[in-house]
């Protein structure tokens, strides 16, 4: 009897695998994208005509309309998902550092998002190393009433295995220990300045937070070895309620009670045009939608192509999407969420759920048979700080591309004033579109997805196993009481 049962299990598994022979569709997707992709041309057009895509700005609204009209032109039902949130924008900044107030010298700097609307603080600058909890506990009370100097990543020479935290988490730790301001040193050479949020909640923080260049920062660290340094941080910023809109194009499936969401953030910071962060992700998604429409592909599950706004200011658009689904009682309908944030030239597929390995590598084998540059890598694990996070924290499986590298050494220019279209590689962008469209088709068409939304206790255990309790606790998003 056991042998007979095993036989039927193997037979069913073999049938499911046979039904997942998508090679003909994958070849069609490959040919269409290689010959007709518009991702590169539309991204070039948008960056030149719109500029940056800051949420709540006039340029942000133009970007929303651009995405809406582009998806409409591909034949989709498209809708805006409006949301109102408190948003932030920089105005003026002046940072000065010196041996004393009489010798302060101006330092090139950029304000980190969600700093106060107005700030003018002067205080002793204290080197807090990597800015981790351990750095503060090593010298209790040292930074209270003073300004913390923190390295953005992990300092060379740090203990092996030292893990970094997000800039917002390092800022939260400085606030917790009584700092009146924080100066974060960027890790990129040649004075490149980085922006991004310094808030773990997306709300205003009580202290001014700024970023300075690597060379200036290391020079200040060296000066601190010889004596005290004083810093003055002056700034004005905007904070207030703004309206923004996610853009959603829907391809209805034959079983619309199940849905695959593929999303990426359309918005960018205002220092440059955001071609890498996240033009290459969001415009790849729109080109996947174009390809599905051009090929008249139909799937079992409904697909929603979503362009989120407000990611840079605290995952605002993706949180609004998940909140709306929670209120409607439709979270269980979302079987999978694929997130494309600075994804480029993937060599495999990633997911938060190890159980997806068989399906993902099966589809990857079919992709690699078409183009051997696709290496069919598989990565399983969960992280934070992009639009998959609200889905992940609701127990929904997430994933995307894996193993790719950013084009033209653009990694150092993340969130910086150098993130322009000249960094984009056309063929690598096509690779993102074609291989990711194959993954999307697989998820939308496979007979059964072997993972489901996690329940509350399962999710707690999963997040702990992924070492996410600490960063979520710092952000105030760990909802469980031990």
Q: What is the pTM of this model?
A: 0.86
Q: What is the mean pLDDT of the chain?
A: 94
Total length of the chain: 482
Q: Calculate the alpha carbon distances from 451 to 78, 152, 272, 358, 443 in Å.
A: 29, 36, 40, 12, 11
Q: Are residues 188 and 331 in the same domain?
A: no
Residue 274, domain member (yes or no): yes
List pLDDT tens digits, range 256-312. Answer: 899 999 999 999 999 999 999 999 999 999 999 999 999 999 999 999 999 999 999
CATH number of the structural domain spanning residue 168: 3.50.30.30
Q: Are residues 441 and 341 in the same domain?
A: yes
Residue 1, domain member (yes or no): no
Residue that finishes a domain, picked among 162, 197, 228? 228
Q: Which domain holds residue 348?
A: 24-86+241-451
Q: Calculate the alpha carbon distances from 217 to 3, 82, 129, 135, 182 in Å.
A: 68, 41, 11, 18, 12
List pLDDT tens digits, range 370-389. Answer: 999 999 999 999 999 999 99
List pLDDT tens digits, range 434-450. Answer: 999 999 999 999 999 99
Q: Are residues 257 and 333 in the same domain?
A: yes
Q: Are residues 332 and 443 in the same domain?
A: yes
Residue 17, domain member (yes or no): no
Q: Are residues 104 and 195 in the same domain?
A: yes
Counting Cα atoms < 13 Å in the Cβ hemisphere of 122 gives 9
pLDDT-derived band of residue 417, with 50, 70 and 90 as boundaries? confident
Mean pLDDT across 416-422: 94
Residue 482, domain member (yes or no): no
Q: Are residues 158 and 215 in the same domain?
A: yes
CA distance 414 to 194: 7
Residue 440, domain member (yes or no): yes
Q: Which residue has the higher pLDDT, 15 or 113?
A: 113
pLDDT of residue 3: 44
Tally DSSP H helices, then E strands, for the chain.
14, 14
Mean pLDDT across 395-408: 98
pLDDT of residue 202: 83
CA distance 176 to 153: 20
Q: Are residues 327 and 402 in the same domain?
A: yes
Q: Are residues 337 and 247 in the same domain?
A: yes
pLDDT of residue 19: 60
Q: How many domains does the chain have?
A: 2
List pLDDT tens digits, range 54-82. Answer: 999 999 999 999 999 999 999 999 999 99
CA distance 126 to 148: 5
Q: Are residues 400 and 305 in the same domain?
A: yes
pLDDT of residue 298: 97
Residue 441, domain member (yes or no): yes
pLDDT-derived band of residue 85, with 50, 70 and 90 as boundaries? confident
CATH number of the structural domain spanning residue 70: 3.40.630.10
Mean pLDDT across 397-425: 96
Q: Are residues 53 and 134 in the same domain?
A: no
Q: Are residues 180 and 300 in the same domain?
A: no
C-alpha 461: how far from chain center: 23
Residue that finishes a domain, picked among 175, 204, 228? 228
Mean pLDDT across 224-233: 97
Residue 472, domain member (yes or no): no
pLDDT of residue 9: 34
Residue 384, domain member (yes or no): yes
Q: Are residues 312 and 405 in the same domain?
A: yes
């Amino acid at each position: 009897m056991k042998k007979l049962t095993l036989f039927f299990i193997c037979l069913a598994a073999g049938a499911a695998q046979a039904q997942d022979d998508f090679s003909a569709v994958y070849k069609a997707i490959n040919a269409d994208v290689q010959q007709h992709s518009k991702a590169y041309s539309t991204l070039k057009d948008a960056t030149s005509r719109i500029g940056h895509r800051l949420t709540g700005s006039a340029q942000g609204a133009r970007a929303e309309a651009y995405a809406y009209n582009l998806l409409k032109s591909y034949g989709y039902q498209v809708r805006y998902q409006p949301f109102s949130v408190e948003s932030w924008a920089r105005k003026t900044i002046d940072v000065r550092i010196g041996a004393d107030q009489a010798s302060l010298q101006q330092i090139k700097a950029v304000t980190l998002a969600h700093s106060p609307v107005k700030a003018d603080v002067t205080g002793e600058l204290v080197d807090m190393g990597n800015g981790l909890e351990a750095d503060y506990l090593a010298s209790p009370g040292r930074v209270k009433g003073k300004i913390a100097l923190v390295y953005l990543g992990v300092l060379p020479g740090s203990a092996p295995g030292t893990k970094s935290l997000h800039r917002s988490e390092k800022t939260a730790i400085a606030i917790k220990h009584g700092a009146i301001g924080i100066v974060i040193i960027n890790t990129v050479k040649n004075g490149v300045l980085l922006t991004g949020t310094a808030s773990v909640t997306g709300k205003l923080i009580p202290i001014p937070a700024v970023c300075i260049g690597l060379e200036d920062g290391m020079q200040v660290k060296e000066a601190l070895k010889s004596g005290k340094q004083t810093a003055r941080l002056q700034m004005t910023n905007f904070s207030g309620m703004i309206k923004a809109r996610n853009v959603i194009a829907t391809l209805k499936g034959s079983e619309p009670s199940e849905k695959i969401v593929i999303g990426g953030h359309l918005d960018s910071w205002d220092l440059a045009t955001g071609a890498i962060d996240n033009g290459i992700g969001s415009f790849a998604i729109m080109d996947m939608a174009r390809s599905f429409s051009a090929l008249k592909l139909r799937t079992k599950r409904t697909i929603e192509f979503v362009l989120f706004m407000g990611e840079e200011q605290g995952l605002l658009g993706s949180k609004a999407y998940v909140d709306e689904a929670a209120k409607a009682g439709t979270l269980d309908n979302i079987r999978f969420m694929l997130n494309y944030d600075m994804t480029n030239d993937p060599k495999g597929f990633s997911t938060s759920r190890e159980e997806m390995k068989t399906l993902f590598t099966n589809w990857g084998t079919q992709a690699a048979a078409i183009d051997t540059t696709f290496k069919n890598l598989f990565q399983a694990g969960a992280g934070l700080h992009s639009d998959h996070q609200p889905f992940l924290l609701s127990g929904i499986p997430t994933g995307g591309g894996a193993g790719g590298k950013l084009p033209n050494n653009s990694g150092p220019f993340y969130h910086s004033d150098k993130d322009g279209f000249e960094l984009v590689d056309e063929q690598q962008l096509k690779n993102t579109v074609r291989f990711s469209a194959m993954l999307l088709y697989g998820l939308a068409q496979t007979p059964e997805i072997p993972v489901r939304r996690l329940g509350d206790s399962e999710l707690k255990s999963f997040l702990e196993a992924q070492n996410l309790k600490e960063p979520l606790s710092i952000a105030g998003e760990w909802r469980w009481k031990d």
